[in-house]
Structure 1
Amino acid sequence: MTNPTLRREVINIYKRRSYPLGYAYFQPRLHKAFMGNAGMSDEGEIRRGIARADFVRKGTDISV
C-alpha cells in the first residue's frame, strides 16, 4: 500500500475499540479478515474494503 492516507484509514478501522458485542468477540474475526486482505495493493480495492468495513460496523452497531 503506497497511499499513506489509505493506510491510516485501514489502521484506524482495525484499532477501533468500541464494538457492540465487545472487543473480545470481534478481535479474532477482525484479525482473520484483515490478514485475509493483507495482500491488497489496488487503491480501488482497498477503498471498497474500507467501505465494507464501515457497512459491517454500522450493521452491528446496536445504538444507531
Structure 2
Amino acid sequence: MAYDVMIYIICIYSERELKQIQYEWQQATRVIDRLVMFGYIAATIAFATYMLAWHNEELTLTDEVMDQAKA
C-alpha cells in the first residue's frame, strides 16, 4: 500500500516536472521567435531605407536600356 502511494506520488511529480520543462521550452521558443521576427523587421526596414533613400542613381528608361535588358 505505501509502496503504491510512493509510486503514485513519483508519477505525479514526474508529470509536473515534464509539464514545467515543456512550459520553459515553449517560453524559450517564443523569445527566439520574437527575436527573429524583430531582426527580420529591422533588416527589411534598413534595406528599404537604403534602397529608397541612398540609392541616388537616377533610372531612366530609354530604348537603349530596354534593348540591353532584352538581350
TM class by shorter chain equals 0.3 to 0.5
The higher relative CO (CA closer than 8 Å, separation ≥ 6) is in: 1
Greater helix fraction, Structure 1 or Structure 2: 2
Structure showing greater Rg: 2
When normalised by structure 1's length, the TM-score is: 0.33
